Amino acid sequence: MTRSPFYVTTPIYYVNAEPHLGTAYTTVAADAIARYRRMTGNDVLFLTGLDEHGQKIAQAAEEHGMSPQEWVDAIAPKFTDAWAMLDVSNDDFIRTTEPRHKRGVQAFWQKLHDEGWLYQGHYEGWYCVPDETYWTAEQLEDGVCPQCGREVQFITEDNWFFKLSEFGDRLLAYYEANPHFVQPETRRNEVLSFVRGGLKDLSISRTTFSWGVPIPFAEGHVTYVWIDALLNYITALGYGSEDPADVARFERYWPADYHFVGKDIIRFHCVIWPAMLMAAGIEPPTTVFAHGFLLTKGEKMSKSKGNAQTPASLVKRFGVDAYRYYFLRDVAFGQDGSISMEGMVQRYNGDLANDWGNLCSRLFNMTEKYLDGVAPAAPGTAAETDEDATMRAIAGKLPETYEDHMSRLDYAAALESAWELIKYANRYIENAAPWTLAKEGDTERLAAVLYNALEAVRIAALFTAPVMPATSAEIWRRLGLGEIAEVTDIAVAAGWGGLPQGSRVTKGDALFPRIYDEE
Ligand code: MSP
């Protein structure tokens, strides 16, 4: 079977601070689609990494009395550790200080130079170091950065410029021909009106500091950090290398299926990046999906606001899978979402402890108690009740419904569709009352009921696996089944009757022990 490639990326994060809930949010969301696509048989490449150059990083290093390289080397493990803790399954991790990246950036410079898209000019204007963004005097709001509200500095430099202004029409034509390039729709409109307003050429080199990728033909110039950063998406695939393995990797995975980004960085990803690629004769990515911000008490969570939390404390309290579940279930992907401890406790106790965890433990217990922990044979349809048929039907439509939601990155709806089955299975057990059947000695119906409920659990575990991989793996183990992570055709795996007769079912500890909110 030929597997079709699927390439998904997160932004590469600035190493000026530790990862927080906001950066973890993008990464976990990208992980969930990467995991799901592996289960639909795609050849997935999931990339994340670090943005290590630029003035902001150089400043952070200086403040800590370190060289920039020492600083980024010291911070990088905080990201790799955080992602490992959150069960992030990235296939590659790029750091912009790596030789493979610098080589690619330099090759790109040469290409743009050769194609005549660059010129030398003079830049005078404002610069926001925390956002690494240029602003004109008119764009400033009350003299500060219109994006983050922090102070800007005036810079005057002789720089290299990219002829971005010549790409307006091509970009508009591209958006028109590729309506799914920018998602969601609100962001697309924002990008369209920005480009319709006219584009200015972009200064893409800096001379007043040296922490960046040197420009091959211009001594003393280093690459503007955003140009450097955007290129990670192709340098990680081997762009700029002549090694046949790199060339093949690039050919196979580019263009990316998804760049996941926060809504604050769409201009870079939806205007500058496609223009850069067009200039180099490379196809733009298929979709840039911009998610919203996580808000606490109505404000964007960020390090500069001092309200940023690290994932570790929440993971300690709720566990990794509950953490992942909460953010993807409670915040509509693409919109801003308020998060709170109360909300998290509520989701945890309601959806996870009561619905999902409870279903599993009751059922595994009963299987041990009434059937000695051995899965019975699948009942025939001859004696099927309406409830049996309904549950089978809910499970039967799940692959399609779930795919439909996930193909739009609607994680909340995808999870809800899995919950329809989980909730029904709980009700099913309640109504079928296996304990009464056992008491009455109706062993045939008892076996049929338990089999059906076990099957519902087996199938629900498949569709919760992209978001809660460890729990699903554990449930499959308790059902006596193989590694859920090895599933490469989820629709087939979800076929009713997949639980083999004789499978050893074990009860184990509570998957989501109830949390009593002492605060
Ligand atoms: N280094 C650049 C990206 C370069 S990509 C070629 C950068 N880094 S960042 O570390 O500042 O932010 C990375 C991402 O985290 C952005 O997409 C941003 O939107 C996201 N988030 C930061 N705070 C956030 C929230 N409070 N909520 C959700 N996501 C937010 O920008």
CA geometry: angle at 436 spanning 432 and 440, to 5°? 120
CA dist 473 and 462 (Å) reads 9
Tokens standing for residue 378: 């699948």
Collect the ranges in the chain with pLDDT lower than 70.
1, 517-519
Question: Which residue CA neighbors atom 15 of ligand 1 most closely?
Answer: 23
In terms of DSSP H, where are the helices of 236-340?
244-253, 266-267, 273-279, 311-318, 320-330
Q: What is the tens place of the pLDDT at every residue in 458-476? A: 999 999 999 999 999 999 9
Q: What is the tens place of the pLDDT at every residue in 40-74? A: 999 999 999 999 999 999 999 999 999 999 999 99
Cα end-to-end distance, the chain, whole Å? 54
pLDDT value at residue 1: 60
Question: Which residue CA neighbors atom 24 of ligand 1 most closely?
Answer: 22
Helix axes 469-478, 320-330, angle to 10 degrees: 120
Residue 443: Cβ within 10 Å count: 13
Length of the chain: 519
Q: How far is the CA of 360 from the centre of ligand 1 (A)?
A: 37
12 lines ligand 1 (CB under 6 A): yes
Cβ(462)–Cβ(323) below 8 Å: no
pLDDT value at residue 518: 58
- The residue written with tokens 């949390």 in the block is 515
Tokens standing for residue 423: 């909730």
Which atom of ligand 1 lies at the shortest distance from residue 23's CA? 15
Phi-psi region at 60: left, alpha or beta (left = phi > 0; alpha = psi -120 to 50) = alpha
13 lines ligand 1 (CB under 6 A): yes
Task: Phi first, then psi: give them for residue 117, nearest 5 degrees.
Answer: -95, 5
Buried b / exposed e over 184-221, threshold 16 CB at 10 Å, is beebbebbbeebeeebebbbbbbbeeebbbbbeebeeb
Q: How far is the CA of 11 from the centre of ligand 1 (A)?
A: 7
CA dist 458 and 461 (Å) reads 5
Q: What is the tens place of the pLDDT at every residue in 345-363? A: 999 999 999 999 999 999 9
pLDDT value at residue 304: 72
Max distance between CA atoms of the chain, in angstroms, equals 89
Ordered strands of the 287-291 beta sheet: 92-95, 43-51, 5-14, 258-262, 287-291, 182-183
11 lines ligand 1 (CB under 6 A): yes
Q: Could you tell me the pTM of the whole model?
A: 0.96
pLDDT value at residue 191: 98
Question: Which residue CA neighbors atom 13 of ligand 1 most closely?
Answer: 13
Question: Which residue CA neighbors atom 5 of ligand 1 most closely?
Answer: 11
Cβ(122)–Cβ(158) below 8 Å: yes
Q: How far is the CA of 30 from the centre of ligand 1 (A)?
A: 13
Best residue for ligand 1 mutational test, from 10, 26, 230, 266 (most atoms within 8 Å of Cβ) = 26
Cβ(50)–Cβ(76) below 8 Å: yes
Give the SS3 label for residue 6.
strand
Tokens standing for residue 181: 């390039």
In terms of DSSP H, where are the helices of 47-141?
55-63, 68-85, 99-114
